[in-house]
């Protein structure tokens, strides 16, 4: 982004953070259907659990309240 837009983005993130807004969703997080929305499911024979392998859109929460789930791709074991 341009320097002006970068400054606006940083200010907005700082102000929203001060109000308690948090972003979440990291690659490698265990998949939790309560706060993640999986759009793509990849199967790997050596996987032991569902894991977020790509964050398509971060989630947002404020305190204990979920505002938007993180949209993710997951990788997990084959179905039994």
In a domain, 8, yes or no: no
In a domain, 3, yes or no: no
CB atoms within 10 A of CB 68: 15
Domain count, the chain: 1
pLDDT of residue 3: 86
Q: Which helix (H) or strand (E) holds 72?
A: strand 70-76
Whether the model clears a pTM of 0.75, i.e. scores above it, the answer is: yes
Q: Containing domain of residue 37, as a range?
A: 22-76
pLDDT digit string (tens) for 7-50? 998 999 899 889 889 999 999 999 999 999 999 999 999 999 99
């Amino acid at each position: 982004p341009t320097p002006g837009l970068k400054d606006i983005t940083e200010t907005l993130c700082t102000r929203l953070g001060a109000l308690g807004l948090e972003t979440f969703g990291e690659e490698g997080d265990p998949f939790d259907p309560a706060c993640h929305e999986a759009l793509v499911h990849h199967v790997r024979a050596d996987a032991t659990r569902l894991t977020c392998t790509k964050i398509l859109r971060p989630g947002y929460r404020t305190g204990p309240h979920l505002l938007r789930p993180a949209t993710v791709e997951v990788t997990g074991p084959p179905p039994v």
